[in-house]
Amino acid sequence: MRDNKLFGFLSDELERQNNSIELIASENFASKEVRELCGSILTNKYAEGFPGKRYYGGCENIDNIESRAIELVTKLFDAKYACVQPHSGTQANMIAYYALLDTGDKILSLSLDEGGHLSHGSKVSFSSKYYNVEFYHLNDSGRIDYEGLKAKALEFKPKLILAGFSAYPFEIDYKKIKEIATLVGAYFMVDMAHIAGLVAAKELDNPLRYADIVTSTTHKTLRGPRGGIILTNNEEIIKKVNKACFPALQGGPLENIIGAKAECFFEALDPSFKEYIKHVKENTLTCANEFSKMCDINSGTENHLFLLNTKLSYGVTGKDAQELLEEIGITVNKNMLPHDSEKPSVTSGIRIGFAAITTRGAAKEDAIEIAHIIHDYLSKQIDKTIAISRVKNLIKKFKKIEEI
C-alpha cells in the first residue's frame, strides 16, 4: 500500500533534479549508498544515549554503526573526539553553545548580511534570544577585517568568538582569530558547514588546528545525508557536548542518518574525493572569472562559492534573478551582499556554488557556458526559449541523479 500522489511528487522531484543545473552552494547529490542507508531499516531503532551507554536494549549493531561513524569522521578531520548525532547544522550550533555557554553569555560573530548564518546571532534565530550577540565586519574588499575583529573583541569581551560562514568566498585566517580569542579569554568556535568537504580534501586549512570546537553539516560539500556533526580535540568539551546533545537538546538519534554519515565519511577518505573537490574549486573559480570578464560585479572566490551582484549587473534583485533562472532550469538562491540595501527576502544578489553540478560531472568548459547562459539571459541578450535550449543541451552531458 502506498500514497500514489505522494510518490508522484517524488517522481516529479527526480525529474526536476535531473533536468536542472543545480548551483545552490549548500546542496549536493548523495551517492546511492548514502541514500540506501538513509532509507534503511536503521530508522526502526530507538537508541537514546551513546555507544555502550544506551537507554534501550538491542543496540549492539547500532553501537557498531555509530562507533564506525565516529572512527571515520575523526580520521577524516584529524580530530580526537566527535559527536555524530546532531540532526542538522543549526542543531549542532545549538548544542555547541549550550555546552560552552550560559544563557546571556556574549558571542562575537559575523552578521548574516555579510556572510554569516541565521544561527550565528540573527534576530530571527534562537541564538539572539538566548545569547548576547554582537558582530564583527568585512573590509572594503569583502574580506574579514581582522583588526576590526580584534578591536571589537577587546571592547565587547565575548565568551565565544565564532567563525565559519554561509556566504563567504575566501579562506579564513584561523590562527589570527585564535590569537584574538586567547587575548580576550574566549572560546574559539568554527562552523565549517559549507567548506567541510574542502577541509576534508585538504584544499582549505583545517580549523581544528586552532579552534576549541568545530561544527559542520554533512550534506553540502561532504555529499552526505542532511545532518550535523561536532568535533573537538578537548576531552572535557566533548563530555559537555554529549550531555548537551542528549539528554539536554535531542532525543533518540537518527541512526539511519548516522549510518549514511558514516558512508559519506568513508567516501570522503577515498582519493577520488580529493580530485572531486579540486574540480569543484576549479569550476567555481572559472565561472567567477568568466563573470568578471562580462560584468565585473562578483566577489571572487577561494572556495566553492561566489556572490554575484545582480542588481548592479543586470538591474534585477536577487529574488527576481532566482525566479528568472529557475524558469530556464538553473537553480540558485538569492543572497544578501555585504551592506545590502535590500531586505533578506529580496536581496541584491545571488550565491553560486559548484559542488552539486560538479558531482554530476561538470568541467571548466561547462562552468564557462553556465556563466554565459546566466549573463546572456539576465542581460536580455537571449530570450527564454533560447536559454532553455542551451540549458537542455548542457544537461545532456551530465550524469543522471540515480546514477550517482
Q: What confidence tens digit (pLDDT) does each residue in 201-213 have? A: 999 999 999 999 9
Give the separation between CA 22 and CA 33, rounded to whole angstroms.
21
Q: What's the burial of 110, exposed, middle or buried (CB within 10 Å: 0-12/13-18/19+)?
A: buried
pLDDT at 339: 87
pLDDT at 297: 85
In this predicted structure, the answer to whether residue 112 has a pLDDT above a threshold of 90 is no
State how beta strands 330-331 and 81-83 pair.
unpaired
Give 379's contacts (C-beta < 8 A, 6+ positions apart): 295, 313, 314
pLDDT at 113: 83
- CA distances to 2, 67, 286 from 113, rounded to whole Å, are 44, 38, 25
Model confidence, pTM: 0.96
Q: What angle do CA 403, 360, 284 make, to 5 degrees?
A: 165
pLDDT at 43: 97
From 135, 124, 114, 125, select the one nearest 90 (Cα to Cα).
Answer: 125
In this predicted structure, the answer to whether residue 263 has a pLDDT above a threshold of 80 is yes
pLDDT at 115: 86
Share of the chain above pLDDT 70, in %: 100
pLDDT at 19: 97
| Average pLDDT of the segment spanning 279-290 | 97
| Average pLDDT of the segment spanning 186-193 | 98
pLDDT at 90: 95
Q: Is 127 helix (H, G, I), strand (E, B) or coil?
A: helix
| Average pLDDT of the segment spanning 80-87 | 98
| Average pLDDT of the segment spanning 19-28 | 97
In this predicted structure, the answer to whether residue 122 has a pLDDT above a threshold of 90 is no
Q: What confidence tens digit (pLDDT) does each residue in 305-341 have? A: 999 999 999 999 999 999 999 999 999 999 999 989 9
In this predicted structure, the answer to whether residue 251 has a pLDDT above a threshold of 80 is yes
List, by residue number, the catalytic residues.
46, 48, 191, 217, 220, 226
pLDDT at 37: 98
Spell out the domain ranges in the chain.
4-29+271-403, 32-268
Q: What confidence tens digit (pLDDT) does each residue in 30-81 have? A: 999 999 999 999 999 999 999 999 999 999 999 999 999 999 999 999 999 9
Work out the mean pLDDT of the chain and round it to a whole number.
Answer: 96
In this predicted structure, the answer to whether residue 298 has a pLDDT above a threshold of 90 is no
pLDDT at 50: 98
State how beta strands 160-163 and 21-22 pair.
unpaired
- Which CATH code, of 3.90.1150.10, 3.20.20.140, 1.10.3720.10, 3.30.1490.190, is assigned to 4-29+271-403? 3.90.1150.10
| Average pLDDT of the segment spanning 94-122 | 92
In this predicted structure, the answer to whether residue 114 has a pLDDT above a threshold of 90 is no
pLDDT at 121: 80
- Which CATH code, of 1.10.540.10, 1.10.238.10, 3.40.640.10, 3.30.460.20, is assigned to 32-268? 3.40.640.10
| Average pLDDT of the segment spanning 81-102 | 97
In this predicted structure, the answer to whether residue 296 has a pLDDT above a threshold of 80 is no
